[in-house]
Amino acid sequence: MVTPNLQQEITQLEANFCAALSDPNRLLILYALNEKPLNVTDLSTELGISQPTMSRHLKVLRERGLVHTIRAGTVIIYHLSDPRLIQALDLLRNVMRERLTYQANLVNEIP
């Protein structure tokens, strides 16, 4: 049996993890890294996000374990930590799409 304190800690960890996914730019970063590992400059250029802002987003993703880094000389290359993250995001998109379709159908049924 999970104690209330342990359950609260687990729930807080889940909330922190999900908070890392709450920014649209961070989602775009994850999808870009799913395509190929990139450094901060390449990510900034590809996504049109300033380098300082990109670095802040990458820090959040790294602290939450969603991305990891590998140093290649003087360059730090960012990698997606687990491809299942993209599967989870795609699943959420499907749920959202179905929900929006359902809501649109309700609107269409109004006389």
Written as one string, the DSSP assignment of 53-103 is HHHHHHHHHHHTTSEEEEEETTEEEEEES-THHHHHHHHHHHHHHHHHHHH
Question: Could you read off the pLDDT of 79-99 as tens digits, one per residue?
Answer: 999 999 999 999 999 999 999
Question: CB-based contacts of 78: which residues, under 8 Å, 6+ apart?
Answer: 33, 37, 38, 39, 40, 43, 58, 62, 67, 68, 69
Q: What is the mean pLDDT of each run of 10 residues along the chain (111 residues)?
A: 83 89 96 97 97 97 96 96 95 92 80 66
State the burial class of residue 41 (Cβ atoms within 10 Å of its Cβ: 0-12, 13-18, 19+): exposed
Its CATH architecture, for the domain 4-81, is: Orthogonal Bundle (1.10)
pTM: 0.83
Q: Cα(25)–Cα(50) distance, rounded to whole angstroms?
A: 11
Q: Domain coordinates of the chain in residue numbers?
A: 4-81
